[in-house]
Structures are given as structure tokens and as C-alpha cells.
């Protein structure tokens, strides 16, 4: 099977050594606060089956996922540590949570009532909306929700938590207000003794008050070495875990005036070498990389020429007498990761972020471990 995977043109190499180093760096930043590793979306596209065993071996004590379905997948991978669903409670999934020892988030007053009505012995986590305006009980409703939960004998309130909207940005003021509001509400509603957590990767790197004295930190992107912003990239000592590579399948010279790919959006201004690379949007590459992204071949960086197709893209290798002339059919083309642009750099050209790039990779791209 391995040899078949090696023969596949487009593959995501997963550097388990880099992952291990990143976990240790995150643990250092956490200063003893335990990690609840965010492994949702198949570990941000890296492959939970590869990533989770390394995290467990490094002592990660809990995992966070988006849905009950993802939580059950972790149990099927043999995870015995605690598993929390970050997404909103789905009433119909509660029996499965009981069966698989999955902990759930209550992100609204309605969810609190549904959990109580289910009458199951579950660990529940109350989420407070301190400014993200996505999910969570509003600060003014926290007291009532906590009172309801205290009178529900089968439920255990395992934590209260909130989520930061701007922790990866240079200006920490909004995050600081969110954290202050969170702590005010906890104190005012008699929740000070309940475990509590705040920090995503940004909070972990930039906000001591999101980390110190908390029960958990919830890093994701930092573990995978794909900071979500330039600020974080400059402040965090992590290495990219994923390297997305494909292969050159053709090199041809096009004439002045020739156009490349669907819609003819790229036109040669002079005789030009064009490489065809066997990766496209069905592998998960954003089509927005058309005429914006680049690939790296034999150490040279070449712009994507024309639109990204479903299964292929073309790269402008430049003049026939230039350095691009060294490129050969069969060469490796790095799309991001070691030896190419970072996921963040490539993502920015498509108007997106690193997380969206790695988590969009499709099932057609094998994740191949490297140690």
C-alpha cells in the first residue's frame, strides 16, 4: 500500500517529528496547563489517525472536535482520553455521547433544557458568548443556566468556557475585554470553582491571562505548525507538519500570444515554458489560486498560469533559456510546506487562511507519514 501511496502524484506528507516538537513547544507555552488539542476536521486535514497517536504519546489529556460524529471517530481510533464536542448540542446524538463517553457543549439556554430533559449521566460544558456572537449563553443568562444545571442531578457541569474572536491579531484589546467579561461572569454567578478555559492558539501565544490559572488550553493550528496570521507566525516557534506535493507531468514551450487553461485568462507575452502539475481543486486547492498562487520546483518558485483545473494546474516556468529550463517531467512540485511557500503564504494569495487550505484537502490526497 505504501508504494502505491508514494506513486500517487499529489500527496500530503505529514511530518510526525515536527508535530512532536510542536506539541512540546505548545506545552512549554502552556506552562503546565493541560492541553485539550483541537483535532476537528480530521486534525485540520492532517489525518486524525496519524496525528492523534502522537498527541496521546506526548501526554495530551483531552481532545476537542466539532461534532459527535467526529468524537465517535476518535473513540474508534482507540482514544481513551477525554473528548469534548465544541459545537452546539444535538439532542438526538446524546445517547451516543453516553455510550462513547463524549462530553458536550451547551451553547444556548435551549441546549441546557435539552440536556436536562434527556436525563442522561453526561458531562456538560457551558459555553459563554463574550463577544464572538456565534455560540454560547449570553452573560446575562449564565446565572439562570447554571442554576438549572445545579438542579439536574444526572448532569455534571465539567467546565465553563469561552472563545476569542481576535486572539491571532496584533491588537489584544478585544480579547482582553472578552476574558475580563468571562471572569466577571464566573465570579458573579458562583462559578469560580468550576474548571474554565479560554485560549486557542492565538490566546496561548499572546495572552497570559488566557492561559495562567486556567484548567485547559485548546490549541489547534499551533500544533500543526500553521499559524493563522503573520503575527502568530512571527511569535510562535513551530514547524509546519504538512507538506503538500504534486508532480510535474508535462513541460512544453508555448509561443507568444498562446493562452493557458480554461477561459484563457493567462497569455504568453514571449515564448515561455509551461509546466503542467497534477493537482487541482478536486484535491482541495482553492480555485482562487488561479493566476495568484505559485509552486516550487527544484528550488525555483513559479507562478500559477491560468485557472486551476479540477485535476491539474499550470505553472509559468519563464523563458526557455532561463532557470525554469531545468524543470523535468516527473519533478516534485511543492504547493506548500518544507521547500515551498508556507500554507499561510499560499493561502493569503487565495484570500484565505492556512487552516482553510489544509482542512479542504480531499480524500483523494493520501496523507503519508514521515518521521
Ligand X SMILES: *Cc1c(COP(=O)(O)O)cnc(C)c1O
Q: Which residues of the chain form contacts with ligand X (CB under 6 A)?
A: 38, 40, 86, 163, 200-201, 218-222, 228
The whole-angstrom separation of Cα 100 and Cα 108 is 23
Closest distance of CB 107 from ligand X, Å? 10
The whole-angstrom separation of Cα 188 and Cα 178 is 15
What the block records as the C-alpha cell of 359 is 482542512
64 vs 366, beta carbon nearer ligand X: 64
Question: In the annotation, is 154 catalytic?
Answer: no
Question: In the annotation, is 127 catalytic?
Answer: no
Per the residue annotation, which of 44, 127, 154, 262 is the catalytic one? 262
Beta strands 332-336 and 82-88 are: unpaired
Closest distance of CB 217 from ligand X, Å? 9
Instruction: Extract the runs of DSSP E, i.e. beta strands, from the chain.
Output: 11-15, 36-38, 62-65, 82-88, 103-106, 123-127, 156-161, 196-197, 242-254, 259-260, 266-267, 272-277, 294-297, 300-303, 313-318, 332-336, 367-370
178, with CB counted inside 10 A (0-12, 13-18, 19+), is buried
The whole-angstrom separation of Cα 142 and Cα 116 is 16
216 vs 266, beta carbon nearer ligand X: 216
Closest distance of CB 196 from ligand X, Å? 13
Per the residue annotation, which of 40, 224, 281, 355 is the catalytic one? 40
Nearest Cα neighbor of 71 from 122, 133, 129 is: 122
Longest dimension (CA), the chain: 78
The whole-angstrom separation of Cα 315 and Cα 321 is 16
31 vs 299, beta carbon nearer ligand X: 31
What the block records as the C-alpha cell of 251 is 513541460
% helix, strand, coil for the chain, step of 5: 35, 25, 40
48 vs 308, beta carbon nearer ligand X: 48
Closest distance of CB 231 from ligand X, Å? 13
Closest distance of CB 214 from ligand X, Å? 13
198 vs 304, beta carbon nearer ligand X: 198
Catalytic residue IDs: 40, 262
Amino acid at each position: 500500500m505504501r508504494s502505491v501511496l508514494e506513486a500517487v502524484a499529489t500527496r500530503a506528507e505529514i511530518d510526525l517529528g515536527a508535530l512532536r516538537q510542536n506539541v512540546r513547544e505548545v506545552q512549554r507555552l502552556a506552562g503546565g496547563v493541560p492541553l485539550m488539542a483541537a483535532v476537528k476536521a480530521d486534525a485540520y486535514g492532517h489525518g486524525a489517525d496519524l496525528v492523534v497517536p502522537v498527541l496521546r504519546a506526548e501526554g495530551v489529556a483531552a481532545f476537542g472536535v466539532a461534532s459527535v460524529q467526529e468524537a465517535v471517530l476518535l473513540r474508534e481510533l482507540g482514544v481513551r482520553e477525554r473528548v469534548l464536542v465544541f459545537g452546539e448540542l444535538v439532542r438526538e446524538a446524546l445517547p451516543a455521547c453516553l455510550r462513547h463517553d463524549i462530553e458536550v457543549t451547551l451553547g444556548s439556554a435551549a441546549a441546557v433544557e435539552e440536556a436536562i430533559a434527556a436525563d442522561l449521566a453526561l458531562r456538560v460544558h457551558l459555553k459563554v458568548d463574550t463577544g464572538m456572537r456565534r455560540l454560547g449563553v449570553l452573560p446575562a443568562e449564565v446565572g439562570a443556566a447554571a442554576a438549572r444545571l445545579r438542579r439536574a442531578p444526572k448532569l455534571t457541569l465539567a467546565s465553563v468556557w469561552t472563545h476569542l474572536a481576535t486572539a491571532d491579531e496584533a491588537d489584544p484589546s478585544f480579547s482582553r475585554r472578552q476574558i475580563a467579561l468571562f471572569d466577571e461572569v464566573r465570579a458573579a454567578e458562583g462559578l469560580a470553582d468550576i474548571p474554565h478555559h479560554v485560549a486557542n492558539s492565538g490566546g496561548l501565544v499572546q495572552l497570559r491571562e488566557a492561559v495562567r490559572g486556567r484548567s485547559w488550553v485548546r490549541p489547534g493550528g499551533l500544533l500543526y505548525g500553521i499559524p493563522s496570521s503573520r503575527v502568530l507566525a512571527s511569535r510562535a516557534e513551530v514547524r509546519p507538519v504538512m507538506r503538500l506535493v504534486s508532480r510535474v507531468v508535462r513541460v512544453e514551450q508555448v509561443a507568444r500570444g498562446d493562452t493557458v487553461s480554461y477561459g484563457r485568462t493567462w497569455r504568453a507575452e514571449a515564448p515561455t515554458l509551461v509546466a503542467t502539475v497534477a493537482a487541482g481543486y478536486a484535491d482541495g486547492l482553492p480555485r482562487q489560486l488561479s493566476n495568484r498562487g505559485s509552486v516550487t520546483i527544484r528550488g525555483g518558485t513559479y507562478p500559477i498560469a491560468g485557472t486551476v483545473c479540477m485535476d491539474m494546474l499550470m505553472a509559468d516556468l519563464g523563458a526557455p533559456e532561463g532557470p525554469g529550463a531545468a524543470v523535468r517531467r516527473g519533478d516534485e512540485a511543492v504547493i506548500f510546506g518544507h521547500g515551498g511557500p508556507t500554507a499561510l503564504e499560499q493561502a493569503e494569495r487565495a484570500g484565505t487562511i492556512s487552516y482553510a487550505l489544509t482542512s479542504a484537502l480531499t480524500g483523494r490526497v493520501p496523507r503519508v507519514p514521515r518521521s
